[in-house]
Amino acid sequence: MQYVMLVRVDPDLAGTVEIDDVEPWVEEGSRTGMRREGRPVDEPATATTVRVRDGEVLLSDGPFAETKEIVAGYDLLEAPDLGTAVDYASRHPVARIGALEIREVWNDFVPDREGGLPPTRTEGRDYLFLHVPDPAVYRSIAPEGLDPTEWVRRVEDKGVTLGGARLREADDGTAASVRARDGEVLVSRGPFAELAEQIAGVDLVRAADLDEALALAAAHPTSTIGAIEVRPFPA
Amino acid sequence: MSTGDALARAFADEWGRVVASLVRTTGDWSLAEDAAQEAFAAAATAWERDGVPRRPGAWLTTVARNRALDRLRRGAVERSVLAEQAAAMEEGGDVDPIEPDDVPDDRLRLIFTCCHPALALEARVALTLRTLCGLTVEEIAHALGASEAATAKRLVRARQKIQRAGVPYRVPSGAALPERLGGVLAVLYLLFTEGYAPSSGAAVVRPDLSAEAIRLATVLARLMPDEPEVLGLLALLRFQDSRRAARTGPAGELVPLDEQDRGRWSPESIRAGEEALAAAERRTAEPGFHLRQARIAALHARARESGRVDRAAVAEEYAALRRLSASPHLALAHAVAVGLADGPDAGLAMLEDLPPGPLGATLPAARADLLRRAGRTAAAADAYRAALVLARTGPERAFLARRLAEVGG
């Protein structure tokens, strides 16, 4: 199974609790083959949120919402089951100052491209897109109602995608959230009561600058039924 | 001209240009501002001693560039990327004074980057005042009614976002231009109105911000001479500014447009407004948002000579404006214009449909004014009282209280 692990940091705790270096955790993942890739994103103050309403692109400065635990990076995990992924995640140092949100990748959502991928751009800045659809709208329409396949093909043609994943809904038993507080590991499964809006997918793009990244986000169907949070990776 | 005058003039003319050029060559906003600041400080001493140079702009650009170069060299050990840029800057061996004509005017890029929609609106305003107008953090904080610490933090965050999120330093092209230009004009207009009618506080007019907005609009019109909306904004600001002296009474109270002493309207500003308006109208057959507003302002300004306002024409312009924007403020202005053109009842009927929330005190104040004109004094008094509850600034409240007393409330 593939899982996207969203690394979330609670800014209040980050200022008060000292945490260990992440390197040993990364090394463990490389050794066991459990961690495929992962990168930290830049601070939330560098985020831009994109919405499209009635054909008009609406931008706002900052992350999608002032949720308590802000996304600080992602990792792609490969594990036989959710329990194994949770066990590995529980040793991540950020568990003490935030949460590791583990979400199963919905692998067959966008069919694989026939005939291989065009080459990816070598120059540019990398951005993480966090797809945050409005929960009510998201549940009221069939998945094909916001089929991103056409968008994915377009970014593949342009050579600006570095990958992406649609995530299974967090409340169907495929997801978990891991925290460590006072030396105790806390795992919550199933519905994330604290999150009204769920991240429904992630995309990694390589754009010339923020304008191009925002234009790519505005062209994605999620921006019309919710928002896309655009986060730069540190240069 | 004294050294002080020459410096003040050079500051107004050259600050934005010097910063814009350094932002392009170094990519570092803080460095650009610091180097410009140092160049002006150096000018204060050097010009006093040696006299004002023949080309103050060239002098300042050269000194600022050398200061930036020095700083890059000093920091070169740990900042290798910038060191490369320093080397690139050095290649030209630029020890000779730089002629302004040799340097492309980068202010247009700077304007578009400062007003980028990925920045918060308050950050756009603060950044424009800092980098383009050269206001200090203290001045910006005072002008916007914010604390110095909050303003400084806002500026740091905005610069960081520009650099780290990759906000491009360029003028948008093609389909993106009209929308982005609209955003730039909105920031300039906001600057002007913050100077003209601050959203809170006691004083009615904060002259500096209005003057800065007019100066920036003039620069923008020079850099984009074929954009009717830029000329339209410039005309609008000029017309509104022409009434500055007549807008407040001896005790600092607000004087409404139709009670103003038109003899105190500035004929120079009106002439400048008419010029910009004519230039804008020559360039388009379909007036946009700012050009339409400039036409309304012109209809009022012409009353200085003719003694009367063409009310029907004003109402028509508002009707056209409402086809361009769904703003409730515009709908309110339209209703008032119709009330003045076709009689208070026509305007009052239109006010019925407006949402009370976003309009604040302006909605009951407009209703009160039309009721007063219709001679319904008791209803007018009630509406003035409702407006007084919602009014935010001292002058606004003083005006409403005076009206309330006039209708016997």
ipTM: 0.91
Q: In 10 A of CB B103, how many CB atoms?
A: 18
Task: Judge contact between A75 and A6, C-beta under 8 A.
Answer: no
Q: How far apart are CA A43 and CA A55, in angstroms?
A: 29
Sign, Cα dihedral of B372, B375, B378, B379: negative
Residues of B in contact with A129 (CB under 8 A): none
pLDDT value of residue B95: 39
pLDDT value of residue B356: 84
pLDDT tens-digit series, residues A74-133: 999 999 999 999 999 999 999 999 999 999 998 877 888 888 888 999 999 999 999 998
pLDDT tens-digit series, residues B119-132: 999 999 999 999 99
Tokens standing for residue A15: 């200022």
Q: In 10 A of CB B255, how many CB atoms?
A: 17
pLDDT value of residue A165: 92
Residues of A in contact with B176 (CB under 8 A): 211
Q: In 10 A of CB B136, how many CB atoms?
A: 13
CA distance A42 to chain B (A): 8
User: Which residue on chain A is closest to B159 by alpha carbon?
Assistant: A46
- Which residue, B116, B275, B295, B100, is CA-closest to A210? B116
Q: Within an 8 Å CB–CB cutoff, is residue B201 touching chain A?
A: no
Is 60 exceeded by the pLDDT of residue A29? yes
Is 60 exceeded by the pLDDT of residue A145? no
pLDDT tens-digit series, residues B213-253: 999 999 999 999 999 999 999 999 999 999 999 988 887 77
Q: Within an 8 Å CB–CB cutoff, is residue B164 touching chain A?
A: yes
Region of poorest pLDDT, from A13-17, B42-46, B272-276: A13-17
The class that CATH gives domain A2-232 is alpha beta
pLDDT tens-digit series, residues B336-348: 999 999 999 999 9
pLDDT value of residue A225: 92
* Phi (first) and psi of residue A48, to 5 degrees: -135, 135
Percent of chain B with pLDDT over 70: 90
Tokens standing for residue A28: 């463990």
Residues of B in contact with A208 (CB under 8 A): 168
Edge-first strand order for the sheet with A184-189 is: A35-40, A70-78, A2-9, A98-104, A176-181, A184-189
Q: Let me know how many helices (H) and strands (E) chain B has, helices first.
A: 21, 0
Average pLDDT (B354-373) is 93
Percent of chain A with pLDDT over 70: 94
Q: Within an 8 Å CB–CB cutoff, is residue A235 touching chain B?
A: yes
pLDDT value of residue B83: 53
Residues of B in contact with A46 (CB under 8 A): 160-161, 164-165
CA distance B168 to chain A (A): 6
pLDDT value of residue B254: 81
pLDDT value of residue B94: 42
Region of poorest pLDDT, from A48-62, B91-105, B136-150: B91-105
Q: Within an 8 Å CB–CB cutoff, is residue A48 touching chain B?
A: yes
Tell me if A47 and B176 make a contact (CB, 8 A cut-off).
no
Per-residue buried b or exposed e for A188-204, using 16+ beta carbons within 10 Å of the residue's own CB:
ebeebeebebbbbbbbb
User: Which residue on chain A is closest to B113 by alpha carbon?
Assistant: A211
Q: How far apart are CA B158 and CA A208, in angstroms?
A: 20
Tell me if A209 and B119 make a contact (CB, 8 A cut-off).
no
Is 80 exceeded by the pLDDT of residue B275? yes
Tell me if B160 and A45 make a contact (CB, 8 A cut-off).
yes
Residue that the structure tokens 């000329």 belong to: B231
| More confident: B349 or B259 | B349
What is the pLDDT confidence band of residue B93, given thresholds at 50, 70 and 90?
very low
What is the pLDDT confidence band of residue B92, given thresholds at 50, 70 and 90?
very low
Q: How far apart are CA A58 and CA B74, in angstroms?
A: 42
Residues of B in contact with A227 (CB under 8 A): none
Tokens standing for residue B223: 């850099």
Pick the residue of A46, A50, A66 with the most B CBs within 10 A to test the interface with B by mutation.
Answer: A46
A&B contacts, CB < 8 Å = 44
Burial class from Cβ neighbours inside 10 Å (0-12, 13-18, 19+) for residue B274 reads middle
What is the pLDDT confidence band of residue B104, given thresholds at 50, 70 and 90?
low
pLDDT tens-digit series, residues A173-211: 889 999 999 989 999 886 555 556 789 899 999 999 999
Is 60 exceeded by the pLDDT of residue A53? yes
Percent of chain B with pLDDT over 90: 67
pLDDT tens-digit series, residues B281-329: 999 999 999 999 999 999 999 998 888 999 999 999 999 999 998 889 9
Among A43, A60, A210, the residue with its CB nearest the CB of B166 is A210
pLDDT value of residue B128: 94
pLDDT value of residue B198: 53
| A70, amino acid identity | I
Domain extents in chain A: 2-232
CA distance B161 to chain A (A): 5
Q: Within an 8 Å CB–CB cutoff, is residue B166 touching chain A?
A: yes
Q: How far apart are CA B328 and CA B66, in angstroms?
A: 52
Give me the residues paired with residue A131 across strands.
Answer: A201, A228
pLDDT value of residue B42: 95
Q: What's the mean pLDDT when you consider all of chain B?
A: 88
pLDDT value of residue A216: 97
Q: How far apart are CA B200 and CA B222, in angstroms?
A: 33
